[in-house]
Amino acid sequence: MHSSTITPIVSAKERLLASAGRLFHEHGINATGIDLVVRNAGVAKASLYNNFANKEALVVAYLEQELDGWIRNALALDNPLSPHRERIAAVFEDLARSVESNTFHGCPFTNAVIELPHCTAVRTVTTNYRAVVRTHLANLTDKDAASISTSRLVLLYDAAITAAKVGRDAALVREASTMAQELVDAHNPGDTQHGR
């Protein structure tokens, strides 16, 4: 296929992924039937099975898309010239904002693992996601990814998401943010330290 190919404005595959992204995330994976995904995408059912082997493959593609989005968002939020504590705070602040605007429906990976506890493909993508989060948090503090304080940041991020989704408590999210900043401060007594 050459670059001159026009094809539809957006391909059936893209529309399906966009539809799956909305529906799976807002209403859950098991509660979202294939027919609904297809109708919502404005696409023929056959187009789904031309692009994905089955529903599970669609779910995995959806999660990979979410992982990609997480990375993009994380990089967009980060200012490498800011002090460590501010870079960390930005991560939590983004979460707190989405809780308050009621656009938060939980971590797509956690939700997927809970909805499909025996699906190994889901576990694999989720493991990738968690590694990415850990690495990113480590980068924000210029710490080795294996360090104890990185584990603590991961824990606080887990906590904030659960408190947001299950507890519906933005104050808890902000408290987690405070804890994370204190953690960074404790390891960087010089305060206004900068990233790479």
Residues that bind a copy of itself (CB under 8 A): 27-28, 30-31, 105-107, 109-111, 113-115, 117-118, 126, 130, 148, 151-152, 154-156, 158-163, 165-167, 171-172, 175-176, 179
172, amino acid identity: L
Angle at the Cα of 72 from the Cα atoms of 81 and 158, rounded to 5 degrees? 85
**Burial state string for 61-87 with b = 16 or more CB within 10 A and e = fewer than 16:** bbbeebbeebeeebeeebeeebbbbbb
Q: Which of 39, 31, 110 is nearest to 70 (CA)?
A: 110
**Continuous H helices in 78-190:** 84-100, 108-115, 120-140, 148-165, 170-187
Q: Indicate whether 32 belongs to the interface with DNA (CB under 7 A).
A: yes
Partner from a copy of itself, DNA, none contacting 18, C-beta within 5 to 8 A by type: none
Give the interface segment with DNA, choosing from 26-34, 60-68, 122-130, 167-175 (CB under 7 A): 26-34
C-alpha span between 19 and 102 (Å, rounded): 20
Partner from a copy of itself, DNA, none contacting 109, C-beta within 5 to 8 A by type: a copy of itself
Partner from a copy of itself, DNA, none contacting 120, C-beta within 5 to 8 A by type: none
Q: Are 107 and 161 in contact (CB under 8 A)?
A: yes
- Closest CB to a copy of itself among residues 165, 187: 165
Q: Of 33, 69, 80, 167, which lies in the binding site for DNA, with binding defined by CB under 7 A?
A: 33
Q: Indicate whether 2 belongs to the interface with DNA (CB under 7 A).
A: yes
Q: Of 26, 27, 44, 192, which lies in the binding site for DNA, with binding defined by CB under 7 A?
A: 44
Our CA dihedral for 110, 114, 117, 123, rounded to 10 degrees, sits at -10
Q: Indicate whether 169 belongs to the interface with DNA (CB under 7 A).
A: no
Contact residues toward DNA (CB under 7 A) are 1-2, 4-8, 11-13, 15, 30, 32-36, 42-47, 49-51, 54-56
